[in-house]
Amino acid sequence: MGPGDQVFLDYDGTLVPISSDPTSCFADRELLSILDGLGEEYDMYIVTGRSAEDMRRFLPPRYRVIALHGALLLTSEGDVPLIPDYSRYVEICNSIALRKNEIREMFHGARLYNKVGGITVNTWLMDTATRGRLEDFMRSLAEESGMELYLGKQVVELRIPGVNKGDAIRKFRKHGRKALIAGDDITDEEAFIKNSDALTVKVGPGETSARYRVSDYMEMRSLLRELIRRS
């Protein structure tokens, strides 16, 4: 990897630790200094399943972010949908979000967030049986609404069908440039598989199609510091 090459980084679990509270995953000072260092040498993107609103709260606006699993590019000039029907899915999510209280009453511990182009239910506070019922419910909601069910780390989500990090990254790959892609969750596997020529890094345990592995976000940060040092 050298100056001008590309770096695509997942956020939760890759750059910051996974936490049971999804609302407070702010980038700390060390992370910002790493991202700034990378941004000076490399063509860098954060690629996340998070909403635009979350990423604007967690990170300063100077970074390029691909949000909602690849549906939306955030830039300092504004948001650019990367798929044709984005606004239709926003409306679908807004109408599902109207059922927030009903869903919270049906599934004890469920925390539902409208990602404005996705719906996520955080399941950290739920017992296993209730999560199972929630999955069934969300599966039927997906069928009714035309959204896609996605089961991640302690989240049950509805995401825009067909959207995935792999295709999103491919849109931004530059011919003749090396790329590093890192991530910790199932959606990142889609990025690894669709970019098998890249330097792919799995963060944490579990099966993977990535070529390399680091144990956690701290080792990932060390690797990124090394990348800056060598550039």
Ligand X SMILES: O=P(O)(O)OC[C@H]1O[C@H](O[C@H]2O[C@H](CO)[C@@H](O)[C@H](O)[C@H]2O)[C@H](O)[C@@H](O)[C@@H]1O
**Residues tagged active-site:** 10
Q: Does residue number 125 form part of the binding site for ligand X (CB under 6 A)?
A: no
Q: Does residue number 96 form part of the binding site for ligand X (CB under 6 A)?
A: no
**DSSP assignments along 135-152, one per residue:** HHHHHHHHHHHT-EEEEE
Q: Does residue number 109 form part of the binding site for ligand X (CB under 6 A)?
A: no
Q: Does residue number 154 form part of the binding site for ligand X (CB under 6 A)?
A: yes
With beta carbons less than 8 A apart as the criterion, state whether 30 and 222 touch.
no
Q: Does residue number 122 form part of the binding site for ligand X (CB under 6 A)?
A: yes
Q: Does residue number 208 form part of the binding site for ligand X (CB under 6 A)?
A: no
Q: Is 187 exposed, middle or buried (0-12, 13-18, 19+ CB in 10 A)?
A: buried
Q: Does residue number 49 form part of the binding site for ligand X (CB under 6 A)?
A: yes
H helix runs in the chain, sequence order:
29-41, 52-58, 86-97, 100-106, 128-145, 165-172, 186-194, 217-230
Count the residues of the shown chain that bind ligand X, applying the rule CB under 6 A.
22
Which of 65, 90, 155, 169 forms a contact with ligand X (CB under 6 A)? 155
Q: How far is the CB of 3 from ligand X (least distance, A)?
A: 26
Give 20 or 94: the residue with its C-beta nearer to ligand X: 20
Q: How far apart, in Å, are the Cα atoms of 95 and each of 1, 54, 98, 192?
A: 45, 20, 5, 33
Q: How far apart are CA 104 and CA 91, in angstroms?
A: 21
Q: How far is the CB of 98 from ligand X (least distance, A)?
A: 19
Q: Does residue number 81 form part of the binding site for ligand X (CB under 6 A)?
A: no
Q: How far apart are CA 124 and CA 66, in angstroms?
A: 25
Q: How far is the CB of 155 from ligand X (least distance, A)?
A: 4
Q: Does residue number 22 form part of the binding site for ligand X (CB under 6 A)?
A: yes
Give contact residues for ligand X (rule: CB under 6 A). 10-13, 18-20, 22, 25, 48-50, 120, 122, 124, 152-155, 157, 185, 187
